[in-house]
Amino acid sequence: MRIKTLDIGKQKGSVHNPEYPITRPLYLLTHGKPSAKVKRFINWSLSNEGQTIIKKRFVGYQ
């Protein structure tokens, strides 16, 4: 499935444009110290591999 971005005003819809009016950060929070599995997931999410997949599959990466 391909997602098409929508330009709003003069802002291009992009994961690389923090000025786009309908973007927001995603926070990963834990209640206390994360378990080993959760820590591995957080580390993967922040890795180059994880960021590439997240941008491509979940935020309509261009």
Backbone angle region of 24, left / alpha / beta, with phi > 0 → left and psi within -120 to 50 → alpha? beta
Cα–Cα distance measured from residue 60 to residue 35, given in angstroms and rounded to the nearest whole number = 30
Global confidence as pTM: 0.57
pLDDT in tens, 5-60: 788 888 887 777 778 887 677 788 999 999 999 999 999 999 999 988 877 766 54
